[in-house]
Amino acid sequence: MEIIKRVTMDFLQERSYTEISVNKIAEASGINISQIYRYFPNGKPDILIAMGNDTAQEGIPDPGLPEHRDPRAYLSTLIRFYIETHRKNRAVLSSLQAVFLSHPEAVRKDAEAIDRDSSNYSALETLVERFGVRDAPDKRAAARRIFHLLDTMIHRQILETKVTPSDEELVDFLADVVLAYLGSLRERADAH
């Protein structure tokens, strides 16, 4: 699987998503095409989803570190990490956009893949818990909303918008939005 993803990444550095085929990936990797479909039943979309989830999982800041006890400090570090991840993996993330637009089922599969390997969510669940949300399904739901908000906003700013605020302006804005949301969760938890 790693060889298939690495070959696909190499192709994405040189070509667009539409110029890549499973046949080309098989030829370049030396892996039989049937093996590729065994690991990635839907071919290119599944390969890209796996690659996208790999990029989102690598190097997530640890919320348990002393310097991350302050929610804003941790959130700012996490947002900077997401910004850098989007910049470093521009080709993969841009291609994922093409996958989601052309394969509607891919969005559901991507969400399921993130749920299965949920280090993004678990880091955010720790933050949500610091705001008084203790119920596991509620923590997961809030973490999922925050993750998708951050991912969507950063994706748009980094990959789609021609004029973007500085990174620190974007970090401050997103941290304010997430902290306001977490504050509303705390108020609801206190009311119950």
Say what the pLDDT of residue 90 is. Answer: 74
Tokens for 36?
């590729």
Distance between CA atoms of residues 78 and 182, nearest Å: 15
Tokens for 114?
């993130």
Q: Is residue 26 part of a domain?
A: no
Q: Is residue 122 part of a domain?
A: yes
Under a CB-based contact definition with an 8 Å cutoff, are residues 175 and 154 in contact?
Answer: no
User: Measuring CA to CA, which residue among 137, 134, 142 is closest to residue 178?
Assistant: 142
Q: Is residue 76 part of a domain?
A: yes
Q: Is residue 68 part of a domain?
A: yes
Interior/surface letters 140-165, b for 16+ CB within 10 angstroms, e for the rest? bebbbebbeebbebbbebbeeeeeee
Domain extent at residue 140: 58-191
Tokens for 76?
């700012």
Q: The domain that contains 87 carries what CATH number?
A: 1.10.357
Q: Is residue 154 part of a domain?
A: yes
**pLDDT mean by block of 10 residues, the chain; 192 residues:** 88 82 92 92 84 71 82 90 81 70 66 61 84 85 87 80 77 94 83 68
Q: Which amino acid is at 111?
A: A
Say what the pLDDT of residue 120 is. Answer: 62
Say what the pLDDT of residue 113 is. Answer: 62
Say what the pLDDT of residue 101 is. Answer: 65
> How many domains in the chain?
1
Distance between CA atoms of residues 20 and 47, nearest Å: 11
Say what the pLDDT of residue 108 is. Answer: 65
Q: Is residue 96 part of a domain?
A: yes
Say what the pLDDT of residue 36 is. Answer: 93
Q: Is residue 143 part of a domain?
A: yes
Q: Is residue 48 part of a domain?
A: no
What's the Rg (C-alpha) of the chain? 18
Q: What is the pTM for the complete model shown?
A: 0.71
Say what the pLDDT of residue 163 is. Answer: 61
